[in-house]
């Protein structure tokens, strides 16, 4: 392990990037496959269309593009990157896709690994990376959220297939000993409620030789109890954000942007109402991309940063939530 490089360091946010596949699947097109309609999907979720990976797009490729764009914005020499964490539940390689991204980037001095926490993955990865930076072990980190859920959606299940899409986003963060823009965080899991949303393994029995059986590896499709997940999100997300406000001595009035995992517009609106944060401060790109799992937070942030909505020193309350069940929140200052 490297020597401690700093004492008492904080985190600063230096760059963002994102990538989505070109292929668009509209609500009208989904209604050719299952019994649904654009009006139903739009009014219940806020989603109009989503991106679907085609040949050549996978989590490694998408994550690489998002990371490269964040590194360009940060204006970093790639060899100065110490850490790459890829949050994903759908790696291109089950043994881990982050090292492939490291190799494609040429980030030879970085250590790279995957982290899985479904739709909370990006937030958990950001918290993990920030703790390494604050601990003084690493100076520069790339945190990526990338998922290709289209490969694991049951396209005959109208209760779930309407929600998900593919994409990637990334943030470039740096240790500094001058200030700390990673103001606070909290994170939770509750495995008791895990069955509300999961992507279980599916194994078939086979034999290696006579009398020695084994199970073939594989996965089934996304299993979801939509109503329970909805109730979980609108209850727990405001609670964890309010707790974070109390812990950090912040309140809703001081927040410039509420950046929630993009699951459903009704969830975003409900959480905003509970926290008394007005709609114009709640970032949303659900209409275009749907739920891209670990990618949603950096994807929507990158869009707002590049459109000059999120500005230097803006205060952002962010929350990820989803399968596990898992959820968390972080309070950051951009810049």
Nearer to ligand COA, 68 or 118 (CB): 118
Q: Structure tokens of 222?
A: 């996304």
Nearer to ligand COA, 264 or 285 (CB): 264
Write down the least CB distance from residue 239 to ligand COA, Å. Answer: 17
Active site residue 261: yes
Catalytic pick among 58, 92, 119, 264:
119
Nearer to ligand COA, 54 or 227 (CB): 227
Spell out where the chain has E strands.
Answer: 10-19, 24-26, 49-51, 83-87, 111-115, 140-148, 166-176, 182-189, 197-198, 205-209, 212-215, 223-224, 257-260, 315-322, 326-333
**How far is the C-alpha of 35 from the C-alpha of 7, rounded, in Å?**
59
Nearer to ligand COA, 84 or 241 (CB): 241
Neighbours of 152 (CB within 10 A): 16
Catalytic pick among 161, 181, 261, 285:
261
Active site residue 92: no
**Residue 270: strand, helix, or coil:** helix
Compute CA distances 295 → 53, 136, 334, whole Å: 14, 27, 18
Which position has the token pair 């929600």? 163
Write down the least CB distance from residue 55 to ligand COA, Å. Answer: 27
In this structure, are residues 27 and 38 in contact, taking their beta carbons and an 8 Å threshold?
yes
Write down the least CB distance from residue 137 to ligand COA, Å. Answer: 31
Q: What is the DSSP string of 210-232?
A: TTEEEE---B---EE-HHHHHHH
| Beta strand pairing call for 83-87 and 111-115 | parallel
Write down the least CB distance from residue 296 to ligand COA, Å. Answer: 9
**First-to-last C-alpha distance (Å) of the chain:** 28
Active site residue 38: no
Write down the least CB distance from residue 264 to ligand COA, Å. Answer: 4
Nearer to ligand COA, 73 or 286 (CB): 286
Contacts with ligand COA by CB under 6 A lie at 36, 40-41, 44-45, 119, 158-159, 162-163, 224, 226-227, 229-230, 263-264, 291, 322
| Catalytic residue positions, numbered | 119, 261, 291
């Amino acid at each position: 392990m490297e020597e401690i490089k700093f004492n008492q360091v904080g985190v600063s946010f230096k760059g963002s990037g994102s990538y989505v596949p070109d292929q668009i699947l509209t609500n009208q097109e989904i209604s050719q496959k299952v019994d649904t309609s654009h009006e139903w999907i739009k009014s219940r979720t806020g989603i109009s269309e989503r991106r679907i990976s085609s040949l050549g797009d996978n989590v490694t490729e998408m994550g690489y593009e998002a990371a490269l764009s964040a590194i360009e914005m940060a204006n970093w020499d790639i060899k100065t990157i110490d850490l790459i964490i890829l949050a994903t539940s759908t790696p291109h390689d089950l043994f881990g896709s982050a090292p492939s991204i490291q190799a494609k980037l040429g980030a030879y001095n970085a250590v790279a690994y995957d982290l899985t926490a479904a739709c909370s993955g990006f937030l958990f990865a950001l918290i993990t990376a920030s703790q390494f930076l604050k601990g003084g072990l690493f100076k520069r980190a790339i945190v990526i959220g990338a998922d290709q859920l289209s490969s694991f959606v049951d396209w005959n299940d109208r209760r779930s297939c309407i929600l998900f899409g593919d994409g990637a986003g990334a943030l470039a963060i740096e240790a500094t000993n001058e200030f700390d823009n990673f103001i606070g965080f909290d994170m939770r899991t509750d495995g008791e409620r895990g069955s509300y949303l999961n992507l279980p393994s599916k194994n078939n029995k086979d034999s290696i030789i006579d009398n020695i059986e084994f199970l073939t590896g594989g996965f089934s499709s996304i299993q979801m109890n939509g109503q329970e997940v909805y109730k979980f999100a609108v209850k727990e997300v405001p609670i964890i954000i309010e707790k974070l406000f109390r812990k950090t001595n912040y309140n809703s009035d001081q927040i410039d942007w509420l950046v929630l995992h993009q699951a459903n517009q009704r969830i975003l609106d409900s959480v905003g109402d509970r926290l008394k944060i007005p709609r114009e401060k709640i970032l949303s790109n659900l209409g275009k991309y749907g739920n891209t799992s670990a990618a949603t937070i950096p994807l929507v942030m990158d869009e707002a940063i590049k459109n000059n909505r999120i500005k230097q020193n803006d205060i952002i309350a962010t929350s990820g939530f989803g399968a596990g069940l898992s959820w968390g929140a972080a309070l950051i200052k951009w810049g």
